[in-house]
Amino acid sequence: MPELPEVEVTRLSFAQAIQGASIIAASAGKPLRWALGCDAGSLVGRQVLGVGRRGKYLLIELDQGWLLVHLGMSGSLRFARELPPGGIHDHFEMVTTQGVLRLNDPRRFGCVVYVSRLEDAQAVKLLGKLGMEPLTEAFDLKLFAAGLHQRKAAIKQVLLAGDLVVGVGNIYASEALFMAAIRPTLSADALSKPQVARLHAAIKNVLTRAVQKGGSTLKDFSSASGQTGYFQLEAMVYGRANLPCKQCGNYIKMIRQGQRATFYCPICQKR
């Protein structure tokens, strides 16, 4: 499940290699979450200036326009000089002077969207409500505290919502809350000042370490160069229901919050 670390690892794995490339051919397969928004053929001749990221979106900057790429929950990009013939789950491909970029996404919850400017309606719709970037200076402790203070939903669900801070998906929300020793069900506005500070630090710490480990490969995630991640091996609580807590030895509990699994240690995360 690509969350911010997986998207960032993907970005790092091909951004340099594709920079400066010119598009020779482009094609779209089955429909994704959103339509491409232009004729794929019209991308031919454009140049790739760079690859950025906003939340879980990759922003491929072209000399004219942008491609917004989201990996959804099963998407992965591959970039190489040559790639084997495409399979049934390959839904976007771009041949460039420096290699082939291809999106594989079995569940098609992802998207590749072309916009001429980031101010275009479709870009604003997709990016406009995103919260703070957790790995930059934008992730301000005071703004974070103020945002949490006006939410009554469970802290885990506020983290997942993405309108306060982006990129913290299901895995890293559970992990960050464990690291900060906060019960996932605690109402966001009930966090004490020290708890907010611990959570702020834990989110940055967990996401940074996950990027360093190449992300989490639960099923089939790999970077654009084919590398799998290792952070799942360091998970303290995620996916460890009924296994002993690595910190205190008591059993990790799994509950359901808004149709999603949450993992926590009832002893280490008392409230």
Beta-carbon contacts of residue 17 (< 8 Å; ≥ 6 apart): 79, 98, 99
The Cα-based distances of 161 to 73, 153, 165, 235, 263 in angstroms read 15, 10, 8, 21, 17
Based on the shown chain and the rule CB under 7 A, indicate whether residue 8 belongs to the binding site for DNA.
no
Looking up tokens 């949450």 gives 262
Letters for 235-254 (x = contact with DNA by CB under 7 A, - = none) are --------------------
Greatest distance between any 2 Cα atoms in the chain: 59
Site for DNA in 202-231 (CB under 7 A): 219
Under 8 Å between Cβ of 56 and 3: yes
149 or 270, CB closer to DNA? 149
**Among this protein's residues, is 56 annotated catalytic?**
yes
**Which residue in 54, 204, 213, 260 is the catalytic one?**
260
Nearest to 55 by CA among 12, 90, 7: 7
24 or 146, CB closer to DNA? 146
Determine the interface stretch with DNA among 59-67, 122-130, 176-184, 197-205 (rule: CB under 7 A). 122-130
Beta-carbon contacts of residue 174 (< 8 Å; ≥ 6 apart): 156, 184, 237, 238, 262, 263, 264
42 or 232, CB closer to DNA? 232
Among 25, 41, 117, 152, binds DNA (CB under 7 A): 152
Determine the interface stretch with DNA among 20-28, 44-52, 155-163, 192-200 (rule: CB under 7 A). 155-163
Count of CB atoms situated within 10 Å of the CB of 264: 24
**Which residue in 46, 53, 56, 102 is the catalytic one?**
56
Among 43, 51, 158, 265, binds DNA (CB under 7 A): 158
21 or 265, CB closer to DNA? 265
**Which residue in 2, 106, 134, 184 is the catalytic one?**
2
Measured between alpha carbons, how far is 165 from 159 in angstroms, rounded to an integer?
Answer: 7
Letters for 29-58 (x = contact with DNA by CB under 7 A, - = none) are -x--x---------------------xx--
Under 8 Å between Cβ of 115 and 66: yes
